[in-house]
């Protein structure tokens, strides 16, 4: 087939590789039950109120959705204390990253981002012919904010900060984030991706919406995929200045967020009980898994998210199929540049214990005895 030349930037793009699907693992290993702890999903599922709202609204899917997401924005304005003109709703926060790049990135423009972090920042840049400037994390897996500032130049248009960071769970506190933003040139947009912010319990976790009032261009991203349990519906939102949001709206597709996602998200926002139950389960899981890992001589990176990034002392690529054989899906660390690490999210307390038991068996099978610490 004769095709026109493809855009040169496509050679630089690596397709996103999601966590292994549960049904695929069941078929491949002839299993009836599989626990997925690879994609940071909510083990409790969506809010009961969201489920009921979807059931009641199913007959409406024959109509086009509200392109402005009016009902959802109305609830968000009340809960977040922002104006509707400061909100943009996306088909997951992934789409909002791409819309931002489509709005402000010309070929050769640059963005500064930490490494490792969420891969979609780099994707959004590359698809527009932009250049990603990666700044490695410090040895303690914290952001090197000074090095990120040094990476900014006259071509820099965006700076990405995932807070808490994926895959490490570490975070930038309010004072450091505020000081960092103040030191940036005025024309650089700071993207604060808070996909996991609802899990953060540290008292110094940033009040990012307060920073919107400082005058520096800032876009705060949040999602319904994690604590709200709506990953399959793909819906997220961004908060920024009215001018920034208006610019992004120019490249947004007219019906980018489906009707069922809007209905479910609106109902989920009103279910504070489910939110509290989901947060409490993660806090219990964080303590449970940390203790279980410590008993094996393993110490995860301190996390404010719903997952741990931990050195298991063996190559995660060798461990991965052994976990699958036991019906557990985790995320290998090689994709983040740390082959001896895994990222594992917290499930129910029972699921967490099954993971810990499996980890002990996998390490023994690969020749690492109990109590042996992980090696970098």
For domain 8-45+273-365, which CATH number applies: 1.10.3720.10, 3.40.50.300, 3.90.1150.10, 3.40.800.20? 3.90.1150.10
User: CB neighbours (10 Å) of residue 52?
Assistant: 13
Domain ranges of the chain: 8-45+273-365, 48-271
Q: Report the interhelical angle of 316-325 vs 349-365 (nearest 10°).
A: 120
pTM, two decimal places:
0.94
- pLDDT for the residue numbered 375: 40
Phi and psi angles of residue 237, each rounded to the nearest 5 degrees, phi first:
-145, 155
User: CB neighbours (10 Å) of residue 151?
Assistant: 17
What is the mean pLDDT, run by run of 10 residues, along the chain of 376 residues? 84 78 90 95 98 96 96 97 97 97 98 97 97 98 98 98 98 97 95 98 94 90 98 97 97 96 98 98 98 98 98 98 97 97 98 98 88 49
Nearest to 225 by CA among 255, 204, 198, 186: 198
Q: What is the DSSP string of 153-182?
A: -TTEEEEEEESS-TTT-----HHHHHHHHH
- pLDDT for the residue numbered 369: 63
pLDDT in tens, 31-57: 999 999 999 999 999 999 999 999 999
- pLDDT for the residue numbered 213: 83
Q: How far apart are CA 227 and CA 333, in angstroms?
A: 23
Decide if domain 48-271 falls under CATH 3.40.640.10.
yes
Share of the chain above pLDDT 90, in %: 89
Per-residue DSSP letter, 296: T
Q: How far apart are CA 130 and CA 187, in angstroms?
A: 16
């Amino acid at each position: 087939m004769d095709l026109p030349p493809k855009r040169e930037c496509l050679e630089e793009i690596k397709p996103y590789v999601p966590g292994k699907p549960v049904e695929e693992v069941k078929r491949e290993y002839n299993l009836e039950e599989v626990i997925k702890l690879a994609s940071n999903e909510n083990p409790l599922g969506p809010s009961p109120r969201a489920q009921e709202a979807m059931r009641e609204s199913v007959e409406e899917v024959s109509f086009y959705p509200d392109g402005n997401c009016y009902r959802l924005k109305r609830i968000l304005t009340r809960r977040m204390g922002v104006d509707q003109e400061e909100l943009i709703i996306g088909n997951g926060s992934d789409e909002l990253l791409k819309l931002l790049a489509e709005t402000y990135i010309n070929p050769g423009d640059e963005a500064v981002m930490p490494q490792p972090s969420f891969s979609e920042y780099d994707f959004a840049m590359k698809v527009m012919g932009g250049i990603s400037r990666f700044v490695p994390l410090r040895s303690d897996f914290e952001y090197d904010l000074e090095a990120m500032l040094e990476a900014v130049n006259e071509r820099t248009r965006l700076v990405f900060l995932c807070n808490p960071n994926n895959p490490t769970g570490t975070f930038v506190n309010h004072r450091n984030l505020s000081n960092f933003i103040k030191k940036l040139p005025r024309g650089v947009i700071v993207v604060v991706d808070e996909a996991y912010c609802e899990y953060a319990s540290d008292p110094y976790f940033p009040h990012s919406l307060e920073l919107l009032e400082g005058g520096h261009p800032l876009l705060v991203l949040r999602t319904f995929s994690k604590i709200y349990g709506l990953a399959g519906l793909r819906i997220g939102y961004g908060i920024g200045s009215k001018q920034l949001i208006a610019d992004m709206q120019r490249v947004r597709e007219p019906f980018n967020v489906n009707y069922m996602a809007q209905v479910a998200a609106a109902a989920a926002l009103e279910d504070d009980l489910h939110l509290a139950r989901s947060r409490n389960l993660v806090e219990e899981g964080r303590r449970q898994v940390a203790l279980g890992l410590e008993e094996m001589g393993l110490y995860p990176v301190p996390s404010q998210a719903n997952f741990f990034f931990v050195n298991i002392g063996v190559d995660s690529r060798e461990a991965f199929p052994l976990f699958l054989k036991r019906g557990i899906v985790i995320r290998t660390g090689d994709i983040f540049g740390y082959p001896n690490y895994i990222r594992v999210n917290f499930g129910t307390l029972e699921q967490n214990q099954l993971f810990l038991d499996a980890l002990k068996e996998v390490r023994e099978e690969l020749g690492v005895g109990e109590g042996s610490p992980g090696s970098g």
